[in-house]
């Protein structure tokens, strides 16, 4: 009981600090808010030892020959990118008012437009790369609503801030887990679209290759795409260096084969993006353990 009370107090303090932070940066116009708030969060991530160590260890695991200076440079850039993306997502209500920052391309876009007209459903797959909510924000600007799966925060108070902002980029938001998956399946069966980030460790998933190392990966997205004959389209929002502009690439749908093969193809697709722009992937995840 005492331990639970202490945890609740800690969560309340963390939530209060988050509210103070968001309140402090809210005095700035949107673009300055993202740049300044992102810089603060990026500095913390790149310099607080547990976070910095996780990023550096993951980089060394995948790039054992990379020198320390390069690892440190990428670590700092990871912090900056994540900081900006985090602030942007927590301000999705404002982000959607700046469509000029998002630049779409790729064959998958027209497919999603056609699906929206037909009302037959689709699954977008991606990872914590670049500005990962940019695609949903762009599609919303075209009148296409794309829901999202999210992992509930350990600190339940944070979801009071986080979930409404997720839904500003597209509704509905589904919590990960059995209940959320059931609701998500019902949504796509009814012709809805959903975006799923596949790059987090899933304890009950299959051990698939990701950047040359085995990684437990959920095959649920591919299984659902196969079962309901839905296109499964990889999408990435790559941030342009030094700016808030994002190039959104809607790739061609992954061919329907089997769930394992399709999920491996999604991993391989993300790998290309990460190797091309390593500073834009969220290396903090415990991805390969």
Domain ranges, ordered by start, for the chain? 2-280
Confirm if 145 and 192 have CB atoms less than 8 A apart: yes
pLDDT at 2 over 80: no
pLDDT for 156: 87
pLDDT for 11: 87
Q: pLDDT by residue (tens digit) across 197-220?
A: 999 998 889 999 999 999 999 999
Cα separation, 42 vs 150, in Å, equals 22
pLDDT for 6: 81
pLDDT at 176 over 80: yes
pLDDT for 190: 95
Cα separation, 11 vs 122, in Å, equals 37
Number of neighbours of residue 268 by Cβ within 10 angstroms? 15
What mean pLDDT is predicted for residues 119-129? 96
pLDDT for 289: 67
For 54, residues 6+ apart whose C-beta sits below 8 A from its C-beta are 283, 284, 286
Average pLDDT, the chain: 93
List phi, psi (to 5°) of 246: -130, 130
Confirm if 260 and 220 have CB atoms less than 8 A apart: no
Q: pLDDT by residue (tens digit) across 233-277?
A: 999 999 998 789 999 999 999 999 999 999 999 999 999 999 999
What mean pLDDT is predicted for residues 162-188? 93
What mean pLDDT is predicted for residues 58-78? 94
């Amino acid at each position: 009981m005492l331990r639970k009370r202490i945890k609740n107090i800690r969560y309340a303090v963390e939530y209060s600090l988050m509210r103070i932070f968001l309140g402090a940066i809210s005095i700035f116009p949107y673009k300055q808010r993202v740049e300044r708030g992102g810089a603060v969060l990026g500095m913390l991530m790149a310099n607080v030892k547990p976070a910095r160590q996780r990023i550096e260890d993951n980089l060394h695991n995948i790039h054992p020959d990379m020198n320390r200076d390069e690892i440190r440079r990428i670590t700092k850039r990871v912090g900056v990118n994540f900081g900006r993306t985090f602030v942007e997502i927590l301000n999705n209500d404002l982000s959607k008012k700046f469509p000029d920052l998002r630049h779409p391309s790729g064959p998958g876009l027209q497919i999603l437009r056609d699906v929206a007209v037909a009302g037959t459903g689709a699954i977008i797959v991606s990872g914590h790369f670049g500005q990962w909510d940019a695609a949903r924000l762009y599609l919303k600007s075209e009148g296409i609503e794309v829901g999202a799966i999210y992992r509930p925060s350990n600190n339940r108070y944070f979801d009071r801030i986080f979930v409404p902002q997720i839904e500003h980029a597209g509704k509905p938001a589904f919590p990960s887990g059995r209940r959320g998956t059931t609701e998500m399946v019902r949504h796509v069966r009814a012709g809805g679209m959903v975006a799923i980030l596949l790059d987090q460790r899933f304890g009950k998933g299959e051990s698939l290759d990701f950047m040359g190392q085995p990684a437990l990966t959920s095959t649920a997205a591919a299984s659902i795409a196969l079962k309901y004959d839905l296109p499964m389209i990889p999408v990435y929002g790559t941030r342009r260096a030094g700016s808030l502009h994002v190039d959104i690439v809607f790739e061609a749908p992954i061919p329907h084969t089997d769930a394992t093969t399709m999920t491996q193809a999604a991993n391989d697709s993300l790998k290309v993006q990460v190797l091309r722009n390593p500073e834009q992937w969220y290396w903090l995840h415990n991805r390969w353990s």
